[in-house]
Structure 1
Amino acid sequence: MGWSVSVPGIEVSVAAQPERTVVHVAGRLDEDAVVALRQQLADHHRCLVLDFSRVSFVGMAGVALVEAVAEQVRAAGGELEVWGVDDPRLRQMHESGRLRALCRHAGRGAETTAPAESRNRLVMREALAAALRVTGAPMGNAQLLDSASQSLRITTQRGFHQPFLDFFRRVETRAHGSTCGTAAAQRSAVYVEDVRESDLFVGTPAAEVLEDAGVRAVASLPVMTAAGDLAGMLSTHFARPTVWTPEVRRELAYVAEAAGRLIR
């Protein structure tokens, strides 16, 4: 059976058998690869197998794709199996009954499910990486909600030094003077095109911190669970005034929504 290259870094081959269809995948299952793989899966609804034994990386977009395909196959009365990958987020899907079968790498079947917090940190780290890619922003951070204190805590970041991280380490979900606190309170995205001219920041301690960090524009998007609860926040920052195009806003919204589907 020959492998056909669909996009750089991934190879896909479909084997249609009488009792099932097996989709063999090799390479990195990142955002670009998911677009190509989604096309291969469009016409397969029953008794589908995803063979990931030659997949070297399963990104957030890849897990979101498996989740969507599982729902599609189940709605059609079929079954979905995933072969050859051991990922805590896919294990959670299997244990919750959303994924019929998960065949893992040899010798790793005895592992227990990763704690929810570790899994959520992984989701947010990949979500931040995706948000920075779609915006081209040099700086950003991801936060998870601490339900006990109702505050957002930074779990991963890119491009910031300690004064910024210390100031925004914990942000109340109704705090004034931050896009993340405002976005959390409103449960909607907040875009600030120029920090120096924004009523949200003018005259607040946060304005000085952002100035010192070289931040002139920021966008914060709440990450909501499937049940509609706030789980965390994604923020991207620019060193110059910035206008986010509708296309970029849609891409950011997709990243936040995908992260919310994976948060547990």
Structure 2
Amino acid sequence: MGWSVSVPGIEVSVAVQSERTVVHVAGRLDQDAVVALRQQLSDHDRCLVLDFSGVSFLGLAGVALVEAVAEQVRAAGGELEVWGVDDPRLWQLQEAGRLRALRRRAGSGTGTADRAQSRNRLVMREALAAALRVTGAPMGNAQLLDPASLSLRITTQRGFHQPFLDFFRRVESTAHGSSCGAAAERRSAVFVEDVRRSGLFVGTPAAEVLEDAGVRAVASLPVLSAAGDLAGMFSTHFARPTVWTADVRRELAYVAESAGRLIR
């Protein structure tokens, strides 16, 4: 027996079989689509399959959906399978035993270390995209911690040219003269409302680089692993002095916490 359900932005069909329910999803699983789909899945407490073979975009919200549904189904004594997706952020769920099965798209065969690094890069890219949406900032970058050198290295960026990228390509996790270095050292968010007036930057080489890049304000948030260790950083930058509201700060903190749950 099967039927379709109405979820804005995506196509969803449900097939009820003797031992499980298969939910076929097609389209972009962005934040709005995830909220609507979550409501449709709230009553499913038996063995469930999420068939994502038709999904063209799986963001942080989509991964969080899988986590939530997995807990819901497991609490009811069932099991969750995810089909048709080769997303590195879901590998950890399977390895932790929270997914019964993860059937990936054909062609995936990288090693464990490569998968972990690929997943972490993807998590940080999604975190930066979310942070830019929350703040409306035109510029930003995300970094991962290199455990060998204990330095932060840029893995993705938006809006910057080569001089900025060259200068901040590698930042010591205890470095001064940068918001990301300060946030890494403190293990807490750093908000600089005006670079020209901040004691963090005044008189440092970084101040000139930021001036040249047109940056007047920056917010840097550390991403901490489940064990509380520094794993990465994302920063958003404005071309004018900026005051971050309490709501925006909470949203950015949520993005950092979500990324920390996914990163390895």
TM-score after normalising by structure 2:
0.90
Paired residue secondary structure (2:203): coil
Amino acid corresponding to residue 242 of structure 1 in structure 2: T
Query: Taking every aligned residue pair, what percent have the same amino acid on both sides?
Result: 82
More displaced stretch, 226-235 vs 119-128? 119-128
Q: Which runs of 4+ in 1 moved over 6 A?
A: none
Q: What is the aligned partner in structure 2 of residue 145 from structure 1?
A: 145
Amino acid corresponding to residue 101 of structure 1 in structure 2: A
1:127-178 alpha-carbon deviations (Å, 9 max, x no partner): 1112111211110000000111111111111111111111111111121111
Contact 1:86 1:108 (8 Å CA) reproduced: no
Amino acid corresponding to residue 197 of structure 2 in structure 1: E
Distance 1:21 1:65 in 2: 17
CA 142–239 in structure 1, closer or farther in 2 if over 3 Å, else same: same
Q: What is the aligned partner in structure 2 of residue 196 from structure 1?
A: 196
Mapping for residues 79-228 of structure 1, pairs under 5 Å = 79-105=79-105, 107-108=106-107, 114-228=114-228
Distance 2:229 2:68 in 1: 20
**1:57, CA displacement in angstroms?**
2.0
Contact 2:51 2:84 (8 Å CA) reproduced: yes
Contact 2:231 2:263 (8 Å CA) reproduced: yes
Contact 1:64 1:261 (8 Å CA) reproduced: no
Distance 1:36 1:222 in 2: 30
Amino acid corresponding to residue 128 of structure 1 in structure 2: L
| Aligned-residue CA RMSD (Å) | 2.1
Amino acid corresponding to residue 257 of structure 1 in structure 2: E
Paired residue secondary structure (2:32): helix
1:199-254 alpha-carbon deviations (Å, 9 max, x no partner): 21122221111111100110011111112111000100000111112222222122
Mapping for residues 243-258 of structure 1, pairs under 5 Å = 243-258=243-258
Distance 2:166 2:107 in 1: 39
**1:112, CA displacement in angstroms?**
5.5
Distance 2:246 2:8 in 1: 26
Distance 1:225 1:69 in 2: 22
Contact 1:48 1:73 (8 Å CA) reproduced: yes
**1:35, CA displacement in angstroms?**
1.8
Contact 1:25 1:50 (8 Å CA) reproduced: yes
Distance 2:244 2:131 in 1: 13
Paired residue secondary structure (1:97): coil
1:30-78 alpha-carbon deviations (Å, 9 max, x no partner): 2222222222222323322212122122223212221232233223322
Q: How many aligned residue pairs are there?
A: 262
Distance 1:136 1:100 in 2: 39
Paired residue secondary structure (2:148): coil
Contact 1:215 1:240 (8 Å CA) reproduced: yes
Amino acid corresponding to residue 203 of structure 1 in structure 2: G
1:261 matches 2:261: yes
Amino acid corresponding to residue 7 of structure 1 in structure 2: P
- List runs of 5+ in structure 1 lacking aligned partners: none
**1:15, CA displacement in angstroms?**
4.6
Distance 1:6 1:205 in 2: 51
1:7 matches 2:8: yes
Distance 2:226 2:214 in 1: 35
Contact 1:218 1:235 (8 Å CA) reproduced: yes
Amino acid corresponding to residue 145 of structure 2 in structure 1: L
TM-score after normalising by structure 1:
0.90
Distance 1:39 1:196 in 2: 47
- List runs of 5+ in structure 2 lacking aligned partners: none
